[in-house]
Chain A
Amino acid sequence: MIKEIDLFGVFLPPMFGYAAAAALIWLVLRKCLAWSGAYRLVWHPALFNTALYILILSVCVTFVFR
């Protein structure tokens, strides 16, 4: 399961892959939330976004290692 990612000859740690995948999901989710107006209910958007990203990232990692 743990193997380095080969990107044009440069080897990246697997964490990089999870972080990138999480970022992709996060970007999409953020757009959806912004579109639905959910941010009006959020007190501190930057904090909310950070927490959201960490949650998605940990879901990605857990999903792979399940």
Chain B
Amino acid sequence: MNEANQSNDLKVIVFQLKDEEYGVEVEQVRSIERMQHITRVPRTTEFVKGVINLRGVVTPIIDLRNRFGIEEIVSSESTRIIIVAVGSMEVGLIVDAANDVVDIPTELVEPPPQVVGGLEAEYLRGVAKMDKRLLILLNLDKVLNPKDLKELEANA
């Protein structure tokens, strides 16, 4: 019974953005890094903070706060860069803090709340209510969609 349940569980890395908790699937996470020097890449969209040297690989970094339209803050001791991989892309996401791994039974995942005209809703896979916590599950494919990057570039 338990085993059967486990196979249905989603293992996610939990991180914080402002005062909310988000989750990305552990399979998509390569590593979690401390904040480090980021080389700015000129003439890119605002949420692309630049690139870092990740053990010899030049890796682009996205500020998730900026990506989701939350006001930016100066990085602190707890700021982390979560390196995620989607397809052939490896990208780092700047988050306020990352410190938890949880198993979410899939039946607890609900579709994202309908927001009229909300752009963000499509970045979400769903929400999971666990005890008193509310976890927002990210749809990384959408968050990292390069097409989106181009469209925003055009708008900017």
A, B in one complex: no
Interface residues of A (CB under 8 A from B): none
